[in-house]
């Protein structure tokens, strides 16, 4: 990290950055959401690579998928069918595999606990829901319907291959559900109404918003979140500011005649004043003792 940043201070800043709520990104720091279609007749198709990217093990994967009531049942059915058709769990060295294993056993246990909690509170498992037959840290791509806000999966980041589908009726309800979390890294929504796009994008309490788009990362755009989704930004000019320090220098400059008459004005002090005069800095104080 030091080699990349060129600053020996960067590693300790990253490893011990800020208060306790901002230190862990394992529990609930990036509970991202997707809002789908509230009044449009066009059926929205989500690219599964966006939702199940890296087997749901990236910070900007959609942890909650909100679907408007009018299209909810049709969407849930087609989404589950697409999981069967397009996703293949297997060895990452196999070119035909689209999904790999979770990072460790603890991650698998967390996914299991979130699925179990949701099912115990009324959710339905449309696909998956169990460890994969391949064993190890493999888990089946899972689709849950009838997910409600009281379930753990709606407030904590699962970081595993589970797509929870949440039903909503109005735009206001969708935004309220999306913002009902202590985190706010990214949010995505699909709409063809320009007025609605601006309205919802501004209402979402997240650092990054994707509109009809699932790939939002770019080196020229600031990457970061609101609330407990971290501090600061990376990328763009705002990311550079994280590596800069502000230095405030305040002082005054006496008129030249007074300086020449000052018996305690040393040669060194005069040289300092000359430097600042050359730099066109007029507020400089030189303390002579």
- Structure confidence by residue, pLDDT tens digits, 161-177: 999 999 999 999 999 99
The predicted pLDDT at position 13 comes to 44
The answer to the question of residue 86 being in a domain is yes
The answer to the question of residue 281 being in a domain is no
- CA–CA separation, 70 and 67 (whole Å): 8
- CA–CA separation, 188 and 217 (whole Å): 13
Using a cut of 0.75, tell me whether the model's pTM lies above it.
no
Q: Average pLDDT, stretch 278-283? A: 52
Give me the phi and psi of 160, to 5 degrees please.
-155, 175
Domain range enclosing 65 = 2-239
Tell me how far CA of residue 30 lies from CA of 17, 118, 185, 245, in angstroms. Answer: 17, 19, 5, 28
Give me the phi and psi of 178, to 5 degrees please.
-60, -40
CATH number (domain holding residue 158): 3.40.309.10
The tokens describing 21, both together, are 């709520």
Q: Using the 8-state DSSP alphabet, how is residue 264 labeled? A: T
The answer to the question of residue 206 being in a domain is yes
The answer to the question of residue 258 being in a domain is no
The answer to the question of residue 38 being in a domain is yes
Would you say residue 126 has pLDDT above 90? yes
Closest to 164 (Cα-Cα) out of 176, 177, 182, 175: 177
The answer to the question of residue 267 being in a domain is no
The answer to the question of residue 268 being in a domain is no
How many domains does the chain contain in total? Answer: 1
Helix spans in 16-125 (H)? 48-51, 72-86, 105-120
The answer to the question of residue 278 being in a domain is no
């Amino acid at each position: 990290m030091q080699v990349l940043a060129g600053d020996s201070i960067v590693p300790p800043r990253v490893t011990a950055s800020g208060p306790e709520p901002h230190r862990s990104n394992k529990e609930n720091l990036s509970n991202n959401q997707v809002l789908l279609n509230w009044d449009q007749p066009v059926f929205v198709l989500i690219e599964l690579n966006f939702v199940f990217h890296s087997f749901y093990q990236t910070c900007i994967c959609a942890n909650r998928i909100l679907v408007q009531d009018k299209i909810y049942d049709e969407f849930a059915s087609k989404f589950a069918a697409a999981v069967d058709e397009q996703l293949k769990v297997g060895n990452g060295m196999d070119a035909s595999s689209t999904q790999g294993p979770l990072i460790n056993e603890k991650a698998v246990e967390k996914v299991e606990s979130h699925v179990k909690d949701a099912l115990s509170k009324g959710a339905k498992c449309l696909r998956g829901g169990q460890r994969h037959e391949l064993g190890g840290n493999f888990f089946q791509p899972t689709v849950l319907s009838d997910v409600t806000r009281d379930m753990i999966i709606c407030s904590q980041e699962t970081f595993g291959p589970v797509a929870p589908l949440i039903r909503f009726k109005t735009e206001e309800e969708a935004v309220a559900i999306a913002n009902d979390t202590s985190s706010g890294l990214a949010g995505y929504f699909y709409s063809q109404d320009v007025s609605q796009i601006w309205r919802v994008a501004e209402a979402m309490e997240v650092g990054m918003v994707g509109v009809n788009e699932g790939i939002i990362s770019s080196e020229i755009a600031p990457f970061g979140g609101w609330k407990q989704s971290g501090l600061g930004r990376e990328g763009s000019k705002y990311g550079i500011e994280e590596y800069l320090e502000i230095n405030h220098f305040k002082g005054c400059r006496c008129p030249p005649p007074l300086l020449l008459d000052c018996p305690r004005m040393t040669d060194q002090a005069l040289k300092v004043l000359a430097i600042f005069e050359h730099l066109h800095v007029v507020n400089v104080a030189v303390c002579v003792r």
